[in-house]
Amino acid sequence: MTAETVLTNARIVLADEIVEGSLVLRDGLVAGIDAGVARTGEDMGGDYIIPGLVELHTDHLEGHYAPRPKVRWNPIAAVLAHDAQVATAGITTVLDALRVGMDEDADLTSDDIRKLADAIEDSVQQERLRADHFIHLRCEVSAPDCLKAFANFETDDRVKLASLMDHAPGQRQFVNLETYAYYYQRKLKLSDQDFKKFCEKRMGESARNSGPNRVFIAAACQERGIVLASHDDATSAHVDEAIEQGVRVAEFPTTQEAARASKAAGLGVLMGAPNVMRGASHSGNVSARTLARDGLLDILSSDYIPFSLIQSAFFLGDMVEGISLPQAVAMVSKNPAEAIGLDDRGIIEQGRRADLVRVRVDDHVPVVRTVWRQGRRVA
């Protein structure tokens, strides 16, 4: 028996326009888009219907698994808590970002990360989850154990994206050592002398490990068909290196120079939705709003606040000149889906997956009212 749902009296956000009308969902797909109010169906009350959001980089899961230092939660329960939060924020496809390569201050271990990956896979197989989950490996290339940890995923088909990161002092996000000190010295409660030793150790690890690890992981990802992302590029030289390594997504460029060079090279420029909402980077780097105004922003990621993804899309569509709501919504749906080769979703179009979000806007804040994944209500 064919399963069909009609959503009517909606403002439907398509790729390049907003249509007031009705949607027909059949067998998990969009079967029809019609202008005007249908005689029968679920009345959306004039709310927006947008594509389900596609999240490429959220490390939010780790916080559910390790909510306090030395505390470990049941990994399946952590996955379920994370899944519930992303789904109710309108995210129907999520790449859970898991760390590969641990710094000495990391509370988690590679074994912890593998447990989380196994919990994701088990939960997918048991159909426990609301959103569609894949894995993004955040590869800390300066870490001595990076390649060993990466090997834990060498047969994991759920990995769709890997990013090459180096958070050592003097590198990329932390070119300014004062910013690094503010971020790490306070976090680790180090004296000035101990912090100096800490920085020297980190910089030495970066000098020894980053280059070889980048080359190895880039080659492995090319061979396995895993999309590769750069991370915190600061200069045109960083972008040139990324292009040489086969990178397709430029995550969180820290300067306008790097963002412009990435855009010119055809890379998808990804920035944080919290950066959009705050109006600035938490570490003092280029503002995502500036890149959006200059036409240098393609993809948004919720990073550490799941709800910020839908919030930033409606903010950009409402507040930034030159960006329409369909264009802003594409940054959180169509563009990220295309960046990792998921061409069956990310846009409301006949024949695409019926991954949809019903949204009402109250006092400039989007309110997620209903979420469907493949035509089935999940939130």
Enter the pTM of the model. Answer: 0.92
Q: Where residue 70 sits, what CATH number does that domain have?
A: 3.20.20.140
What lies within 8 Å, CB to CB, of 332 at 6+ separation is 53, 54, 55, 273, 299, 300, 309, 310, 312, 313
Q: Does 371 map to a domain?
A: no
Q: CA-CA distance, 305 to 282, in Å (whole number)?
A: 13
Query: CA-CA distances (angstroms) from residue 23 to 9, 43, 348, 354?
Result: 9, 11, 9, 10
Q: Does 45 map to a domain?
A: no
Q: Does 47 map to a domain?
A: no
- How many structural domains is the chain composed of? 1
Tokens of 89: 């924020």
Which value, in Å, is the radius of gyration of the alpha carbons in the chain? 21
Q: Does 76 map to a domain?
A: yes
Q: CA-CA distance, 58 to 46, in Å (whole number)?
A: 31
Q: Does 146 map to a domain?
A: yes
Task: Give pLDDT tens digits along the chain (379 positions).
Answer: 467 999 999 999 999 999 999 999 999 999 999 998 877 899 999 999 999 999 999 989 999 999 998 899 999 999 999 999 999 999 999 999 999 998 766 789 999 999 999 999 999 999 999 999 999 999 999 999 999 999 999 999 999 999 999 877 665 555 556 666 656 666 666 677 777 777 777 777 787 888 899 999 999 999 999 999 999 898 999 999 999 999 999 999 999 999 999 999 999 999 999 999 998 776 668 899 999 999 999 999 999 999 999 999 999 999 998 999 999 999 999 999 999 999 999 999 999 999 999 999 999 999 999 999 999 999 9
Q: Does 132 map to a domain?
A: yes
Question: Which residues constitute the domain of residue 236?
Answer: 52-344
Q: Does 197 map to a domain?
A: yes
Q: Minimal CA–CA distance to 89: which of 325, 314, 282? A: 314
Q: Does 356 map to a domain?
A: no
